[in-house]
Amino acid sequence: MSDNLSIPQVLPAENFVISAGTVCFDVSRSMILLLYHRPKAEYLLPKGRVNAGERFSDAALRETLEESGVTATLLPSPIATLAQGLDLGELNTEPFVLSSAFRNGAWKLMFWYIAQADYAAPRSYGMQEEGEEFDIVWVPQENAPGVLSYSDDSAIAAKALSIMAKRE
C-alpha cells in the first residue's frame, strides 16, 4: 500500500508470491491478536505464504496457527465486495483487503481475512518455523492500529475494525 511502484498488468509467476493473513478478533473480549517478533521488537499481524494448491483463506488460518499457536476460524462479516452472489452488507468470509509490497525483486500480494479465536483457549506450541520467534499479544481492539509496527498493518487493522463496527 505504501510502495510507489505500480503492479504490472501482466506479472509472470516468477515475479510474485501470494500470501494470506488475518486480523483475528476475540469478539466477546473486544481484543485483536498480534504477534511480537522478539528479534526485531516489532508488532505484526499473522501472515505468510500460500502453499501450492492451498485456498487463500486456509493459508491465512494455517499461518495464524503456525505463528501464534492460536486456532482461528473465519468470521462472517459485512465485507463490501465485488464477489458475485453476495448482496450488499451480507455477511461473508471473502478477503477484506488485498495489500501489495515489492520486496527482493518480486511482488508480494497479500490477501487479508477477518478471523476469530478465543483468547482463553489452549494454544498449540512448536509450530513456528526457524526464524519465527513470535510471542502473542492480545490487545484491546481499538488500540491495535497504534500498536502495530508498520503503517500497512495499522491500515489493515483499522479497516477490519470499521467492518466489525458494522456487525454490531
Is the per-residue pLDDT at 28 higher than 50? yes
Contact in structure between 145 and 43 (CB atoms under 8 Å): no
**Per-residue b/e over 48-77, b at no fewer than 16 CB within 10 Å?**
bebeeeeebbebbbbbbbbbbbbebebbeb
- Which pLDDT score, from 0 to 100, does residue 31 have? 98
Q: What share of the chain is helix, strand, coil (3-state, %, to 5)?
A: 25, 30, 45
Q: How far apart are CA 150 and CA 155, in angstroms?
A: 9
pLDDT digits (tens, 9 = 90+) for 72-105: 999 999 999 988 998 888 999 999 999 999 988 8
CATH class given for the domain over 14-79+93-165: alpha beta
Contact in structure between 49 and 17 (CB atoms under 8 Å): yes
Poorest-pLDDT segment among 41-45, 53-57, 85-89? 85-89
- Which pLDDT score, from 0 to 100, does residue 2 have? 46
- Which pLDDT score, from 0 to 100, does residue 148 have? 98
Domain ranges of the chain: 14-79+93-165
Residue type, 122: P
Residue type, 39: P
Q: How far apart are CA 108 and CA 39, in angstroms?
A: 22
131 or 77, which is more confident?
77
- Which pLDDT score, from 0 to 100, does residue 126 have? 75
Q: How far apart are CA 4 and CA 86, in angstroms?
A: 33
Q: What percent of the chain has pLDDT over 90?
A: 77
CB atoms within 10 A of CB 3: 14
